[in-house]
Amino acid sequence: MSPSATRSNPPRVVIIGGGFAGLYCARQLRGAPVQVTLIDRTNHHVFQPLLYQVATGGLSPANIAVPLRGVFRRQKNVTVLLGEVTDFSPAERLVRLADGGAVEYDYLVIAAGMQNFYFGRDEWAPHAPGLKTLDDATEMRRRILSAFEAAEREPIFAEQVKWLTFVVVGAGPTGLELAGTLAEIARDTLRHDFRRINTQKARILLLDGSDRVLPTYVPSLSASAKRQVEALGVEVRLGTMVTGVDPEGVRVRADGVEQLIPAKTVLWGAGVVASPLGRKLAAATGAEVDRAGRVFVGDDCSVAGHPNIFVLGDLAHQIWRADQLVPGVAPAAIQHGSYLARLIRRRIEGRPTPPFRYVDKGSLATIGRAAAVADIAGWRFSGYFAWLAWLLIHIFFLIHFQNRLLVMIQWAWNYFTFARSARLITGRSRDASSPP
Amino acid sequence: MSPSATRSNPPRVVIIGGGFAGLYCARQLRGAPVQVTLIDRTNHHVFQPLLYQVATGGLSPANIAVPLRGVFRRQKNVTVLLGEVTDFSPAERLVRLADGGAVEYDYLVIAAGMQNFYFGRDEWAPHAPGLKTLDDATEMRRRILSAFEAAEREPIFAEQVKWLTFVVVGAGPTGLELAGTLAEIARDTLRHDFRRINTQKARILLLDGSDRVLPTYVPSLSASAKRQVEALGVEVRLGTMVTGVDPEGVRVRADGVEQLIPAKTVLWGAGVVASPLGRKLAAATGAEVDRAGRVFVGDDCSVAGHPNIFVLGDLAHQIWRADQLVPGVAPAAIQHGSYLARLIRRRIEGRPTPPFRYVDKGSLATIGRAAAVADIAGWRFSGYFAWLAWLLIHIFFLIHFQNRLLVMIQWAWNYFTFARSARLITGRSRDASSPP
């Protein structure tokens, strides 16, 4: 008989965050003799790799999100709690919530992820929405579509040009997807929609401070990605530091020269920083955090000195090999979640727990229609086949979403018709200076 | 040769409102020698009969809305303008916009529809959202889903009961659909989703001041609709006047007795009133309006004394037969739109224009899964076959929507699985007193 069977109550596992790490951890605890509480600020899990499709009107929010309660409706050992965690008390083994409540745990799993980071210049945020949540995505969609509408109405040519200039800050995977898809929208989707403006004349700029796009990829793929996104009509400006974002546009410095790029729409794909819960956990446990606010964890994902407190996914600072960290990508978060579920099961059974081993599944970044780069098991390729690989892998991982069939049909429809049927302007503006 | 061929510029048709009447009018002018400007406050046409499905998480906004520019991308004689009309100047033949601009017309078509009406008590609006726009629908969805979440978190039983009480004001078609679908959600969809509350114990009240539901239907169908919605678990309270709506709930008077129904979620399906543009048009043209603000029009839909100004759809007060008006339903709006396009074509060709003849296609109201009432060509029926008729007709009319196939699949999926995959809580609250 296992040690846990002698307890009157099953161990309580509290998971904070319903992203990939938290979701997979809770799912893999199905049938385990534990009581899981999954806490999230929203009522849904978002398939983040497709968030840019919502931001650009290709998919609807419901296509890439599932209600967390729906995921766990039949898994009776999981309770979903919609709430905001504000603090930790390891001495009392409890987590405090914004509404004044508290939840006790035996195992605490923190997978709160990352949020947008404006290099400490939070005043830029209203002018340059990031892309971390569904609300971020519909806000981006509203701004992009409203900019074309404003340009159509604008009688003054110089102002029209500002409305038709889109600046994407950051040439990582998110920035690249956004810039490439924006170019497609301007060139193909909206081509026949307007009467006064020529949407094909829209300017899309992709800025990055580094000397290549996709800086974490091998240089040959960076070069290929740059060629592909430029072929779609995007102006790529590297070695360009952003020094300001305001209603006039983006202020940049390149080669020591300051310049204003006049633009009404700025999209932020640049920085992410750890959830503030990382620093709160560090303060409560004495753990260390890195510059981005990620919490240092051991090879079993636990925090030093607290064998029952774990940090997973993007929020974890964990050594992988030599001087590399486990990267902040969806496959790593999924592996973390599954690993931790196994660890908890083994702990309860009193069996030894092997360390986490990250399996690198390779890297894939999409740029646009039939454009992508791939680095899978040392096999590097780009263009149509990389895009096909990207598509198949993403559809496969949507497998936990009931509506993956719908997404596939929607996608096929969009692909063959160049349509983006979800290009709806909804919701109110977050920023008074943005278009109506 | 037609008279218009001698003109250097084709006549300008300005259509205000992209609802059924405005959309069909513009579509039916395809190929006509006119220049159409379609003005709407939003960038999309909404298939209003399915708005309640968005409000209850069964469909996504993009499933029931199409971007207006997408509809007219290939129809080169139509220009879509995103803007808000503020006034009319018949003397100058122009329409003024909120941004200071103006649009000139030769034919003016006003199809601005109706908006929510709180019996002059606008202070009720923040506590009881109506259902006229996509934003209304996502706001309702947010409140309904957030109420169940708040109930799950609520430690005090009396408060929990308030979160689990939903009041629908108005037992017309909209109120009936909302109440019936809410009952389904509580009874089936969310049944296994929560751990602390039993969603099947949620109370759904449907209030109306009249003595039957669907007051515009024949009494036998009203009785059948009442039985069907009660079978779904809805409490129907007739002869009940609403005297107040506030954060505590709904204050009502029935049989001279005042009562407070404590409820955190109140949905407004009761009153609609004409767009304020009706009264503005009346002031500018000397036309008369009825109590609801609808503009009196002749049998060619024109305003007295202004043969080139027309009012269509819900905004028109037009005699049909004996003492009956053309009803404010989608089929009437569609017929109006098509009629007016024919009228404009004939006017341009110098041919006589016959009067508008409303063809009554019957009435259909849905209540919930396999529950509806129908009154088609004197053939009155209810239950499963009425629901099937409702479904087929609505799918048929979605024919102008590219994604009708997706909607059908989504719907079939929902039907067989009892799922509602679009039950996402997104956006910020319109009202500080509503759930987080």
Name the active-site residue from B123, B149, B152, B177.
B177
CB-closest option in B135, B153, B406 to A426: B135
Residues 52-71 on A with a CB inside 8 Å of B are 60-63, 65-67, 69-70
pLDDT (0 to 100) of residue B432: 36
Question: Which residue in A273, A324, A325, A279 sits closest to A301, CA to CA?
Answer: A325
Question: Which residue in B400, B410, B427, B336 sits closest to B45, CA to CA?
Answer: B400
In tens, the pLDDT along A181-198 reads 999 999 988 989 999 999
Distance CA B67, CA B414 (A): 25
pLDDT (0 to 100) of residue B433: 40
User: Tens digit of pLDDT per residue, chain B (436 long)?
Assistant: 344 444 568 999 999 999 999 999 999 999 999 999 999 999 999 988 889 989 998 888 888 888 899 889 899 999 999 999 999 999 999 999 998 899 999 999 999 999 999 988 999 999 999 999 999 999 999 999 999 999 999 999 999 999 999 999 999 999 999 999 999 999 988 989 999 999 999 999 999 999 999 998 999 999 999 999 999 999 999 999 999 999 999 999 999 999 999 999 999 998 789 999 999 999 999 999 999 999 999 999 999 999 999 999 999 999 998 889 999 999 999 999 999 999 999 999 999 999 999 999 888 899 987 789 999 888 899 988 888 888 888 877 765 555 566 666 666 666 666 666 677 777 765 543 433 3
Could you please report the per-residue DSSP string of A188-221? IITTTT-SSS-GGG-EEEEE-SSSSSSTTS-HHH
pLDDT (0 to 100) of residue B204: 98
Question: Which residue in B130, B113, B134 sits closest to B275, CA to CA?
Answer: B113
Which residues of A form the catalytic set?
177
Residue of A nearest to B189 (CA): A70
Tokens of B60: 């996504």
B243–chain A nearest CA distance, Å: 30
In tens, the pLDDT along A125-183 reads 999 999 999 999 999 999 999 999 999 999 999 999 999 999 999 999 999 999 999 99
pLDDT (0 to 100) of residue B5: 45
Which whole-number Å values give the CA distances from A141 to A13, A149, A182, A199, A424, in the listed order? 37, 12, 10, 16, 8
Q: What is the DSSP letter of A289?
A: B
Distance CA A362, CA A379 (A): 9
What 3-state class would DSSP assign to A175?
A: helix
CB-based contact A402 B413, cutoff 8 Å? yes
End-to-end CA distance of chain B: 66
Q: What is the DSSP letter of B47?
A: -
pLDDT (0 to 100) of residue A323: 83
Complex ipTM tops 0.90? no
| A202 and A166 Cβ atoms separated by less than 8 Å | yes
pLDDT (0 to 100) of residue B406: 65
B/e letters for B31-65, b = 16+ CB within 10 Å, e = fewer, are ebbbbbbbbbebbbbbbbbbbbbbbbbbbbbbbbb
Q: What is the DSSP letter of B210?
A: S
Structural element, H or E, at residue B332 = helix B330-349
Write out chain B residues lying below 8 Å of A100, CB-based. none
CB-closest option in B60, B69, B155 to A61: B60
Write out chain B residues lying below 8 Å of A193, CB-based. 67, 69-70, 73, 80
In tens, the pLDDT along B70-108 reads 889 899 999 999 999 999 999 999 999 998 899 999 999
| B356 and B318 Cβ atoms separated by less than 8 Å | yes
Mark the ranges of chain A whose per-residue pLDDT is less than 50. Answer: 1-6, 431-436
CB-based contact A149 B43, cutoff 8 Å? yes
Residues 77-116 on B with a CB inside 8 Å of A are 79-83, 99, 101
